[in-house]
């Protein structure tokens, strides 16, 4: 049985920017895609003439959204962590303070920083019921992707990527830096097809603990993100 298809995967971050007596508002959304089209869970995507894959589960953390203008920090989201879930079209609101200048760069982490990881179980999106927590020793999973592919020589052709690890040498949180014009609305596209273009899942298809393969896979994650501005 396929999981229920998710047709719309838009995650909104509504950020209010305060400039002394003046206030402006910008809207930032994370849009989940597969090969430039809306991501659909359990849909069969062709990857060659004979092979296909489906995505059944996708969750990942976004942390420390920060805004820069010509290399100087001009704003930062007050809400530190966001959990993006392809099965749930949730709206995340974050209050942000920014100086008068428009930002030209946005940075954020895919995953959680080490200090957050060391604190262990917390509330909200850091609650263990999110299915993103291993143990106090291994911490939280930064990026979790599961599905099936005819390319995988595994039982029922399943692939599992539970990418985490916060202790050296297996630190897997990755920074993303994107150029922007400071315009609203701002869409950050997350194209999951880029993941499979970079990872040969016939060879690497099961990563479920902090190790060198987790670090290798984590370095691919920033390539999934790009900015689209209207």
Tokens standing for residue 9: 């995967």
Exposure string for 33-67, b = 16+ CB within 10 A, e = fewer: bbeeeebbbbbebebeeeeebbbbbbbbbbbbbbb
Long-range CB contacts (within 8 A, 24+) of 126-134: 126/81, 130/59, 130/83, 131/59, 132/59, 132/61, 132/83, 134/162, 134/164, 134/209
Indicate if the pLDDT at residue 11 is higher than 80: no
Write down the pLDDT at residue 19. Answer: 39
Residue 203 CB contacts under 8 Å (≥ 6 apart), including other chains: none
The model's confidence at residue 184, banded by pLDDT at 50, 70 and 90, is low
149 domain residue, yes or no? yes
Residue 77: how many CA atoms within 13 Å on its side-chain side? Answer: 22
In sequence order, which residues have a C-beta less than 8 Å from that of residue 31 and are 6 or more positions away?
9, 10, 11, 38, 187, 188, 189, 190, 228
Mean pLDDT taken over the chain: 85
Instruction: Give the pLDDT of residue 156.
Output: 95
Residue 105 lies inside a defined structural domain of this protein: yes
In a domain? residue 38: yes
Q: Which two tokens stand for residue 208?
A: 């479920």
If pLDDT is split at 50, 70 and 90, which confidence band does 89 have?
Answer: low
Burial (CB < 10 A; 0-12, 13-18, 19+), residue 142, is buried
pLDDT band at 18 (very low <50, low <70, confident <90, very high): very low
List the end-to-end C-alpha distance of the chain, in Å, as a whole number. Answer: 39
Residue that wins the pLDDT comparison between 1 and 170: 170
Domain-located, residue 5: no
pLDDT band at 186 (very low <50, low <70, confident <90, very high): confident
Tens digit of each residue's pLDDT (9 = 90 or more) over 52-68: 999 999 999 999 988 89
**In this predicted model, what pLDDT tens digit does every residue of 134-181 receive, in sequence order?**
998 999 999 999 999 999 999 999 999 999 999 999 999 999 999 988
Residue 2 lies in a domain: no
Looking at the domain assignment, is residue 58 inside a domain? yes
Task: State yes or no: pLDDT of 113 exceeds 90.
Answer: yes
Residue 159 lies in a domain: yes
Interval 207-230: pLDDT, tens: 999 999 999 999 999 999 998 766
pLDDT at residue number 29: 80
Environment class of 158 (CB within 10 Å of its CB; exposed 0-12, middle 13-18, buried 19+): middle
Which residues form the domain of 42? Answer: 10-229
Mean pLDDT in residue range 24-43: 84
| Three-state DSSP state, 49 | coil
Q: Is residue 59 part of a domain?
A: yes
Task: State the total domains in the chain.
Answer: 1
């Amino acid at each position: 049985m396929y999981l229920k298809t998710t047709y719309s995967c838009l995650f909104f971050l509504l950020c209010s920017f305060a400039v002394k007596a003046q206030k402006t508002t910008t809207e930032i959304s994370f849009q989940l895609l597969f090969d430039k089209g809306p991501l659909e869970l359990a849909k069969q995507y062709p990857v060659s003439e004979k092979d296909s894959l489906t995505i059944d589960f996708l969750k990942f953390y976004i942390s420390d959204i920060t805004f820069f203008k010509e290399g100087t920090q001009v704003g930062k989201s007050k809400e530190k962590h966001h959990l993006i879930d392809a099965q749930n079209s949730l709206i995340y609101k974050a209050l942000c303070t920014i100086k008068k200048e428009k930002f030209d760069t946005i940075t954020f982490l895919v995953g959680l920083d080490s200090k957050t990881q060391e604190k262990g179980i917390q509330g909200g999106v850091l609650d263990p019921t999110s299915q993103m927590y291993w143990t106090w020793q291994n911490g939280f999973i930064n990026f979790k992707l599961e599905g099936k592919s005819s390319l995988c020589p595994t039982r029922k052709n399943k692939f599992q990527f539970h990418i985490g690890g916060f202790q050296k040498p297996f630190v897997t949180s990755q920074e993303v830096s994107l150029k922007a014009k400071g315009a609203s609305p701002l869409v950050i596209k997350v194209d999951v097809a880029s993941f499979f273009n970079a990872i040969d899942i016939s060879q690497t298809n099961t990563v479920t603990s902090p190790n060198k393969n987790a670090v290798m896979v984590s370095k691919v994650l920033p390539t999934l993100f790009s900015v689209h501005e209207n």
